[in-house]
Chain A
Amino acid sequence: MGFFSRIKEGLKKTRTGIMSRMDGLFTRNLFDDQFYEELEEILIAADVGVETTLELVENLRRRVKETKAKEGAQVVELLKELILNIIGTEKSGLVEAAEKPTVILVLGVNGVGKTTTIGKLAARYQGDNKKVILAAGDTFRAAACEQLGVWAERTGCEMVKHQGGADPAAVLFDAVSAAKARNADVVLCDTAGRLHNKTNLMDELKKVYRVVGKAAPGAPHEVLLVLDATTGQNALAQAKVFNDAAPITGVVLTKLDGTAKGGIVIAVARALKVPVKFIGLGEKADDLQSFDPKEYVEGLFAQN
């Protein structure tokens, strides 16, 4: 399946949910209060959030007035533009370190799909003939290390691990050192899932970030926050707090193959100005796709 059809496939459910209602709205030519209220509801239903939604709709009202748009289809375009103003229009790839290895730190709350995302990223890099080392930085959850180990086996990557309960910062430091010694291109660092309101765990993360920074110049070169598309408004709080502990360079939006719309990324992009880099569309190794903002928005509003 090509990239385009795959993202379409993944977003189809998003679209059918949002669009069956959107269609009715945008073929209308009368933009009264009820029209905007319904529009609000549609964005809310996509988890865009109250504040961002109200702002978008307010701006849309203004733009409609300015452009004197008369048709539903024109209004769709205006709304797309407004959303793209927030999430950016270009794809955003991963940085490559000037000096090997590129160190990528993967963060998130519990159960969002950090380990799976790492497995998929590893497969992606392997496909580009890069040498990848997986760092088992989740030393807390039962069998987290074994889970990453299965991905190492599947993708044919090496994995650096310590005993359960070990200091995650030490594991990651070792992994980066090992990568240098073995001339690896990329180190993918797994971390334990943590709720952002646990001060001690966020402090641990700060330490991890600091220590990884000492292991290689400029490391970590990417800090990816994994967000679950089914998560609601709490994702915004997550993003803010994680960003304070370890400045995020990109977001990975997982589980977009369900019916969830993941609209919270719009609110996250609005608050943090951080790009979404990947989307997860399934459990297989190649189910990770680059995030294309235009396609995402197009997907959200495409006519069936």
Chain B
Amino acid sequence: MVFENLSNKLQETLRKLKGKGKLNEKDVDAALREVRLALLEADVNFKVVKDFIAKVKERCLGKEVLESLTPGQQVIKIVNDELTMLMGQSVAKLNHASNPPTIVMMVGLQGSGKTTSSAKLANLLKKKNHTPLLVAADIYRPAAIKQLQVLGEELDVPVFQMGQQDPVTTVKAALEQAKRNRHDYLIIDTAGRLHVDEELMDELGRMEKAASPHEILLVVDAMTGQDAVNVAQSFRDKLGLTGVVLTKLDGDTRGGAALSVRAVTGCPVKFAGLGEKTDAFEPFHPDRMSSRILGMGDVLTLIEKAQSSFDHKQAQEMEKKLRTQKLTLDDFLEQMQQLKKMGPLNQIMDMMPGMGGLGKKLKGMSIDEREFVKVEAIIKSMTKKERLDPMIINSSRRKRIASGSGTKVQDVNNLLKQFDMMQKMMKQMGKMGKKGKGKFPLM
């Protein structure tokens, strides 16, 4: 894959830089060229990249680097600093109305995921004991209202709709209803529209005027390419955008659009959509996005995800094991069970640095949740000794295990192979743990 080449190259270049005691402009240029290509390949808009590189270069050739004892490291730090600065540093919260309801309007292109995100946001709020009301204001797409109704029913959140009425009228009536029924949040799902469609953009303007929303969230598909800046600019010019929702981040896109949109609108990304289920919706951590865009994984998110599912002690034990690389099949089983709690495995793999490349090697280890059941059965059919030392599992033991777990010898073989790979993976993580004190885990 192109990507891996680029991020490997980038890492290679930065690593070389790191060892240098003295830098000249040529070193910096070579490194920044790779940074530039990586950002472009990640779909960051070329203008944004240009400004970014110029800024980084200026700082790199300034005093702080030249007078530093470790100029290479300084350069890396600057790249990371500037990326984080561009992306924003802290998690941005949803605005509150001092006088409820808080009105949230979701806007964006067709297919960016407004309806799904509206429902997910309602779900998130409901879990925090709020009483959201969803408003179906997409009167154009066939069955859009129905889609929101189905989702509302699933979540037990009421959905307000007035059919194909002018959405401005619908919004006004919804506001009345929200006040009457004491809903503290009103989430308006608007129709997808092209930013160059003046008529429909005007309609949004009228809706904004009618509702005076506290939040207008631009819903952006994380896979968006260079055009993200045009879209963001048009929506920003027309409406008082307050934030961005980045959807489909559970894909394998680098998500450079996040940087572009942030640079153009100045609005923080507030939420991230991470899957089709209604609870796959999280506050967005801007500080972690930069390493994803550069293709360096996201150790922090992984650790936090692990912490929310593991209890602390278990996590410590696991960390120790990861570091010391001693892993038995028992641990493997336990981990799989813990991982199950953390959500789809492929999501977790994506967050591990270096997994991009490993994904290829692990192709045989396709991660299917259903496999868990099988794996559990197989491991549980092993003796204590076998679990501690899988090396002793010869062919007759394999046969016994297979028949004991109701699987085939092939399955047992596969599992052992997977386990072997897992161990190798852990070794890699262990190594990373030792080196990766900074924010660039693979340095």
Q: Which A residues form the contact surface with B (CB < 8 A)?
A: 13, 17, 41, 44-47, 49-51, 109-113, 140-144, 146-147, 149-151, 195-200, 203, 228-237, 255, 257-261, 264, 283
Contact = CB atoms under 8 A, between A and B. Distances in A.
A142 B346 contact: no
B225 interface: yes
A44 B46 CA distance: 7
B269 interface: no
Given A142-B151, A197-B252, A232-B256, A112 B111 contact: yes
B151 A230 contact: no
B227 A259 contact: yes
A120 to B, nearest CB: 12
Interface stretch (B98-106, B363-371, B377-385, B394-402): B363-371
Nearest to B147: A143
Name the prevailing secondary structure of the B interface residues: loop
Contacts of B2: 49-51, 233, 236
Nearest 7 pairs of A and B residues by beta carbon: A232-B225, A111-B111, A150-B142, A232-B43, A146-B143, A142-B150, A143-B147
Interface of B: 1-3, 6, 37, 40-43, 45-46, 109-113, 140-144, 146-151, 154, 194-196, 221, 223-228, 230-231, 248, 250-254, 256-257, 276, 344, 346, 350, 366-370
Contacts of B151: 142
B142 A147 contact: yes
Given A147-B142, A199-B367, 17 more contacts: A17-B230, A110-B113, A141-B276, A151-B142, A199-B366, A200-B369, A230-B225, A230-B231, A231-B224, A233-B2, A233-B3, A233-B41, A234-B223, A255-B109, A255-B110, A257-B194, A260-B225
Most buried by B among A110, A229, A237: A110
B225 A264 contact: yes
A126 B400 CA distance: 61
A260 B112 CA distance: 14
B142 A109 contact: no
A237 B254 CA distance: 11
A285 B333 CA distance: 53
Nearest to B49: A44
A268 B146 CA distance: 35
A128 to B, nearest CB: 23
A222 B2 CA distance: 28
A50 to B, nearest CB: 5
A81 to B, nearest CB: 24
Nearest to B222: A234
25 contacts: A45-B226, A47-B226, A50-B2, A50-B40, A111-B111, A112-B111, A113-B110, A142-B151, A143-B144, A143-B146, A143-B149, A144-B147, A147-B141, A197-B350, A199-B346, A199-B367, A200-B370, A228-B223, A230-B227, A232-B225, A234-B223, A258-B196, A259-B196, A259-B231, A283-B110
Contacts of A199: 346, 366-368
Contact of B227 (A143, A196, A260): A260
A141 B147 contact: yes
Contacts of A203: 368
Nearest to A54: B37
A109 B254 CA distance: 16
B226 A46 contact: yes
A196 B251 contact: yes
Contacts of A230: 109, 221, 224-225, 227-228, 231
